[in-house]
């Protein structure tokens, strides 16, 4: 059974079909990449998966359970978390407080209105684990707004990871990260635990082919090709529509 599955997923905005009858299966433990040219509907698709948008029709199942009608925060509890293509961080908080929020929430302490933050040792230990894994120790007391972009990008993933998702959706994690900070970021993504299934939305073909064990190509809102990296790389239709000369070089 696939861990994440969409059946006949569609989203129309007026007359525009942004997502067109997508049947996608992501296997447990996979490193699955979703690629496609600009405007192919990748972000709409992610928003449907995470519940930011409601589909016009079709179903979404997570670990066999239908989650089509659940709210975004419920999907997080059910085991799916995402990052954003453009950073969505809490600029006035520190990385420590940001991660603390997520961990408190996950351990059911988020609505606790009487206990002072930081007094529960199970919460604190987990915060430190996440901070260390994402190399944020040296900046953990700084305001998020003043962090270097690469660190913000790491925090972006750390917040999603701290939800302890079974499925992690990474929306162009390396977008805009300068070359010097890129290596740390990619190494951290590579080092994500194997039991976390990753669905990667990415533009950069180097990252896709070094990371993914399965690739789906989205064109004009529809699933175009779906297969192992070698097959997708060889597929002449993909080359024609999307990859162009990039792979031949």
Partner 1 sequence: MANPALTSHVSDYLKRRARWSPLEIAFWIFAFATIWLFPSKHLILKDTAILALFAMSLDLILGYAGILSLGHAAFFGLAGYFAGLVAKYGFITEPVLALVAAGLVAAALGFVTSFLVLRGSDLTRLMVTLGVSLMLGEVANRYSNITGGADGLQGVEIEPVLGRFRFDLYGHNGYVYCLIVLFVCFVVARRVVYSPFGLSLRSVKGNSLRASAIGIPVKWRLVGIYTFAAGLAGIAGALLTQTTAFCSLDVFSLDRSADLLLVLIIGGTGYLYGGLIGAVIYKFLQDYIANLTPQYWQFWIGLVLVTIVLIGRERMRAWIETARSALENLWPRGFARPAKFAAPDGK
Q: Could you tell me which stretch among 29-37, 131-139, 183-191, 232-240 binds partner 1 (CB under 8 A)?
A: 131-139
Closest among 70, 51, 59, 83 to 172, alpha carbons compared: 83
169 in Cβ contact with 72 (< 8 Å): no
Residue from 63, 112, 184, 204 that binds partner 1 (CB under 8 A)?
112
Answer yes or no whether residue 159 interacts with partner 1 by CB under 8 A: yes
Q: At 22, phi and psi to the nearest 5?
A: -90, 125
Write each residue from 162 to 201 as x if it is in contact with partner 1 (CB under 8 A), else as -, in one continuous string.
Answer: xx--------------------------------------
Q: Is 60 in the site for partner 1 (CB under 8 A)?
A: no
**CA-CA distance, 97 to 192, in Å (whole number)?**
22
CA angle 55, 20, 56 (to 5 degrees): 20
* Residue nearer to partner 1 on the CB measure, 49 or 174: 49
154 touches partner 1 (CB under 8 A):
no
Task: Rule CB under 8 A: say whether 230 interacts with partner 1.
Answer: no
In Å, what is the CA distance from 21 to each residue of 8, 17, 24, 57? 4, 10, 10, 9
Q: Is 15 in the site for partner 1 (CB under 8 A)?
A: no
Residue 26: CB minimum distance to partner 1, A: 19
Q: How close are the terminal C-alpha atoms of the chain, in Å?
A: 38
Give least dist CB 148 to partner 1, A: 19
Per the CB < 8 A criterion, the answer to whether 155 and 106 are in contact is: no
Nearer to partner 1, 4 or 131 (CB): 131
**CA torsion, points 190, 181, 203, 54, in degrees to nearest 10?**
80
> Which spans of this chain sit near partner 1 (rule: CB under 8 A)?
50, 52, 71-73, 76-77, 81-82, 84, 88-93, 96-98, 100-102, 104-106, 109-119, 121, 124-129, 131-132, 137, 140-141, 159-160, 162-163
């Amino acid at each position: 059974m696939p861990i994440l599955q969409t059946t006949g997923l569609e989203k129309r905005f007026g007359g525009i079909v942004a997502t067109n009858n997508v049947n996608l299966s992501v296997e447990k433990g996979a490193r699955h990449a979703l690629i496609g040219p600009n405007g192919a509907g990748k972000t709409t698709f992610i928003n449907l998966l995470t519940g930011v948008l409601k589909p016009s029709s079709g179903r979404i199942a997570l670990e066999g359970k239908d989650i089509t009608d659940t709210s975004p925060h419920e999907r997080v509890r059910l085991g799916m978390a995402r990052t954003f293509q453009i950073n969505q961080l809490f600029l006035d908080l520190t990385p420590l407080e940001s991660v603390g929020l997520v961990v408190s929430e996950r351990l059911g302490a988020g609505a606790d209105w009487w206990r002072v933050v930081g007094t529960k040792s199970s919460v604190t230990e987990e915060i430190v684990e996440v901070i260390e894994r994402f190399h944020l120790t040296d900046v953990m007391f700084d305001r998020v707004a003043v962090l270097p972009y690469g660190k913000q990008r790491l925090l972006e993933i750390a917040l999603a990871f701290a939800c302890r998702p079974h499925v992690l959706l990474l929306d162009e994690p390396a977008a805009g990260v300068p070359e010097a900070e890129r290596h740390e970021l990619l190494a951290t993504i590579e080092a994500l635990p194997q039991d976390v299934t990753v669905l990667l939305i990415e533009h950069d073909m180097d990252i896709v082919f070094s990371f993914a064990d399965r690739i789906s190509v989205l064109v004009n809102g529809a699933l175009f090709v779906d297969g192992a990296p070698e097959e997708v790389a060889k597929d002449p239709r993909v080359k024609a529509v999307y990859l162009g000369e990039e792979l031949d070089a």
